[in-house]
Amino acid sequence: MTTQKKPVSLLFCLLMDLAGYASFAIPVLGEFSDIIWAPVSALIFYKTFGGWKGAFGAVFNFVEEIFPGLDFIPSFTITWLFKNIVSRYKSFAINPS
């Protein structure tokens, strides 16, 4: 028996990016919270997207969250857009039906 993975919602991705961005709200303390948030966010990213794209994205997400000043990059949302819009466009361009 195989289980089908539910598609990831855009709202979930936006909320995850907002959570990562929230560390900017508390100037000095926020960067220390990234020490905890970075690995948690990377694990959630991998579990959400899976496969090699999820693994690569999780590493990118970890680096983006752990380094100061990079929290503004919406890695969850960018991945969602790539999976849901760019991939569909590419498949349509290859196999227009």
3-state secondary structure the chain: CCCCCCCCCHHHHHHHHHHHHHHHHCHHHHHHHHHHHHHHHHHHHHHHHCHHHHHHHHHHHHHHHHCCCCCCCCHHHHHHHHHHHHHHHHHHHHCCC
Statement: residue 91 has pLDDT above 70:
no
What does the longest C-alpha to C-alpha distance in the chain come to? 54
Domain ranges of the chain: 10-91
Entry pTM? 0.80
pLDDT band, very low/low/confident/very high, at 94 (cuts 50, 70, 90): low
Statement: residue 68 has pLDDT above 70:
yes
Average pLDDT of the residues in 63-69: 87
19-64 residue pLDDT tens: 988 877 777 777 788 889 999 999 999 999 999 889 999 999 999 9
